[in-house]
Structure 1
Amino acid sequence: MDSTSKRYYKISEVSEMVGLPMSTLRYWESYFPAIHPQRNDRGTRFYTPRDVETIRMVAYMVNDKGMKLEAVREELKRNRDGVTKKFETVERLKKVRNRLQEMLDSLHKLR
């Protein structure tokens, strides 16, 4: 994704990127083994782009699909590749929809 161009992100950056509170990210870190940010000597969390994508997938399954955290954890454990493909497809479709909406809005402004 274009927003994951750095090697590491602080928790405040990830929070802003995915639209979730930092407390939620900290909780999910303890709940999902796939989210494991690096820490420096001072305890500052540094998330990799893979961590950010996992957080986005979890947020999608919880917020958009209405799944409970336990179900999300099991789904990621059982079928991470399938979840990743579905998530990527939905994200691409959202981008296409947004682009089409922008085009429609431009056409309406021309009238």
Structure 2
Amino acid sequence: MADKAAGAFRTIGEVAEMLDMPQHILRYWETRFPQLKPLQRAGNRRYYRPADVALVERIHQLLNRDGYTIKGVQKQLSEEAKKDGAAVPAAASPLRTIRDALALALVEDARRTG
């Protein structure tokens, strides 16, 4: 993972390894935190954008270091979004979604042909 650029997409395995946690925890968090929506490709393969990774790191910090409950983290993230003026997650933007899908397609194509 160290050879990837800072803005590169990460797989669920890479994110789980980075935080030293099992992948199923990240999948569970997707059900509990609506802000966490990694891109999913064929076969439900997940790709985390840098913003997704930052959110996962924030959730991990609040749960495992600061001692919040799931409900407490949900409330904290909601309050932070209101304070930052981010009522809609950035991933919900149609243009961002298209851009991310195209970037992911390029990554997959390079992996197949390279």
Same fold (TM over 0.5): yes
Deviation string for 1:4-52 (max 9, x for gaps)? 7143111000001122210100000111011101011221001111111
Q: 1:67–1:16: structure 2 CA closer, same or farther, 3 Å change rule?
A: same
- Corresponding position of 1:39: 40
Bigger RCO of structures 1 and 2 (CA < 8 A, at least 6 apart): 2
Aligned-pair identity (%)? 28
- Corresponding position of 2:70: 69
Unpaired segments of 5 or more residues in structure 2? 85-114
Give the superposed CA RMSD. Answer: 2.3
Computing the radius of gyration over CA atoms, which structure comes out larger, 1 or 2?
1
Give the structure-1-normalised TM-score: 0.66
Unpaired segments of 5 or more residues in structure 1? 84-111
**Post-superposition shift, 1:80?**
3.7
How many residues get paired? 82
Runs in 1 of length 4+ with deviation above 4 angstroms? none
**Post-superposition shift, 1:82?**
6.6
